[in-house]
Structure 1
């Protein structure tokens, strides 16, 4: 590769040049939603990564840009079968060699590598910044908070950990919901980065025992959970879950507090509480029997039955299920249409529908937290968690 010649080009001159053959190098002026990745990146993840590339503030360098170009070509066209450019065509020759070097890498794998690379570049620039109602900036470590087209999107952003919720992440979600409830957006969307919507509570939360011991940890965790669920109960605008993949635990139980739940066909819903020696939360002990009947809710909450997206739809937990390959495009088209509705009418209508049960929901939340606090300090729960970690370590 004629690396010396490539390095002689100014970074953004290279971007402008390659944009004629690879349009995704162009830098868009609008703020875009971002996402992370796990194995098996979807087409939507890939398209979102292309948009993310244009938001980079720092030039990644020609070597990285060649790699991005090669992965893009491999992901969209497959192996390089085009003739090698002439000896003096240094730029196109460098790009050709970068693409050719990928050999027989599959389009799916190239797509995943492309998403991973872009995600790492975005992450390296630091956390996303959200504008607060007063106009000041707020940075979140584990969330991406954006407002566009009348929609505030809160995106769980720990894709490498399947968006498992840490103690810090709980606090950030409470703050993000408070911001979204006060901003000028019409509706709020909660979704996940990568292939998972959310894998529930990060069980490593249970390994960091404070000086006060297990009882203090349980008390503090209970207070945090109560505030977290209350943020959903009190949310003043339409709140919509865009379930982009599997959902576990708390991310499932709070779905009964959303105003609409849209899921990709590959999503699953699992609440393995008794398996871990725990009990339901998120007001699910009240909302699930009401939504899906007591007998069906018992299968889910007591006996750990995992639901497919179609099963969750039939039980009433999910509003609608979409094919995975069109999920994101269909959902955002619909949400943008919803966001054009009169905002005050939407908010006031939600308050009429939900307001009558708010007192009941808060009481259920308190009762669930009290029971969970007891469970967390029980020998049965601690042994169940130990067994979980032991089984995980053997995998």
Structure 2
């Protein structure tokens, strides 16, 4: 979860699509175009339509919705600006305040237009999902299939670059639990779209409920600890098929996989110190063990982004394939592996992993405890604020 604040989920794609319809700016939250007066009935209908959205539109769009709603119902911003460290409420205040003296009627119309656009954009996405065929319906953010002795866990939020939401964390854990017990020989994890995984969805940390930031941080630390434990304890061969860029926890956990195959277009990035945070995914132990302390430090301390070739040279990736033949070559190899004796593979892995399983769980606990401290530190909060301010200028 240390990646939570430096990933940019695919909501930018949605924003671009929205701009084609309404010329929506990315962050400044001013809507342009011919303004008409929406009726109160249309406004109420839009509020109900908002509840029907299946996909999270992203933080920038949600800030627009919030600002327009407040402007439409209360008029210009009249509350005090929250403190610098209260970055969630500060972002909301700035969104509302940016609308200036926009009349209530105009804000109401823009609110209605925005909600209608969001709903219309989501329709083809749902149709595409239906057309993909048979997937296990118990999952919303991933697809899980079993065929030819291979269980495949497909991270399936391509519009958000497969950023990991809290729901996706829960669903991946559930999928790993099922795969551990099914009749498959191998379990494969890969991503849909151009990205393997862009790390954590920003909403994991910006959506702070009434429990407050301290409890939110503790809960997030427990979720991360539980998530990484699923990889440590997974009993079968687990193989990563890295189809595109990987960020944050999607990178650090690779040290717990049994093989990692990558397209030559993939990159691997885990810039913890840039955001005042610290390593996770047992990477503080596995990375130095795999590639040596000096090389691991470049990644974990000094934010070095690796190409696929560099990751392979350092031992984080098993083999790299040209993007044009990546899927064909990798799956040919996986199908051959899946024909090997299932129990022999599982017992062999357990012998290899069993030697250090206790150590890995201890490292996981230490990393998560340190991250909770980091998330609550002024240094981390300042780094996060700097990140948001930088992105707001893009």
Same fold, judged at TM 0.5 (above):
yes
Structure 2 CA distance, aligned partners of 1:128 and 1:233?
A: 30
Shift of 1:124: 4.9
Structure 2 CA distance, aligned partners of 1:231 and 1:146?
A: 19
Structure 2 gap segments, 5+ residues each: 1-9, 14-121
Superposition pairs for residues 380-391 of structure 1, below 5 Å? 380-391=379-390
Could you say what the CA RMSD is over the residues aligned between the two structures, in angstroms? 2.1
Superposition pairs for residues 222-237 of structure 1, below 5 Å? 222-237=221-236
Shift of 1:125: 6.7
Q: What's the counterpart of residue 247 of structure 1?
A: 246
**Contact 1:127–1:141 (CA<8 Å) still a contact in 2?**
no
Distance 1:158 1:127, change over 3 A: farther
**Contact 1:128–1:139 (CA<8 Å) still a contact in 2?**
no
**Contact 1:241–1:261 (CA<8 Å) still a contact in 2?**
yes
Structure 2 CA distance, aligned partners of 1:197 and 1:372?
A: 24
Superposition pairs for residues 12-23 of structure 1, below 5 Å? none
Structure 1 CA distance, aligned partners of 2:259 and 2:310?
A: 16
Q: What's the CA shift string for 1:279-303, capped at 9, x where partnerless?
A: 0000000000000000000000000
Structure 1 CA distance, aligned partners of 2:370 and 2:133?
A: 36
Q: What's the CA shift string for 1:130-188, capped at 9, x where partnerless?
A: 2xxxxxxx511100100011000001011111111111111111111101111110000
Q: Does 1:358 align with 2:364?
A: no
Q: What's the counterpart of residue 129 of structure 2?
A: 123
TM-score if structure 1 supplies the norm length? Answer: 0.67
Q: Does 1:213 align with 2:212?
A: yes
Q: Does 1:146 align with 2:145?
A: yes
Structure 2 CA distance, aligned partners of 1:301 and 1:328?
A: 29
Shift of 1:206: 1.4
Distance 1:382 1:127, change over 3 A: farther
Structure 2 CA distance, aligned partners of 1:281 and 1:156?
A: 20
Structure 2 CA distance, aligned partners of 1:341 and 1:117?
A: 43
Q: Does 1:372 align with 2:371?
A: yes
Q: Does 1:341 align with 2:356?
A: no
Q: What's the counterpart of residue 193 of structure 2?
A: 194
Indicate the SS of the match to 1:140.
Answer: coil
Q: Which has the higher contact order (CA 8 A, sep 6+)?
A: 2
Structure 1 gap segments, 5+ residues each: 1-35, 40-115, 131-137
Shift of 1:211: 1.2
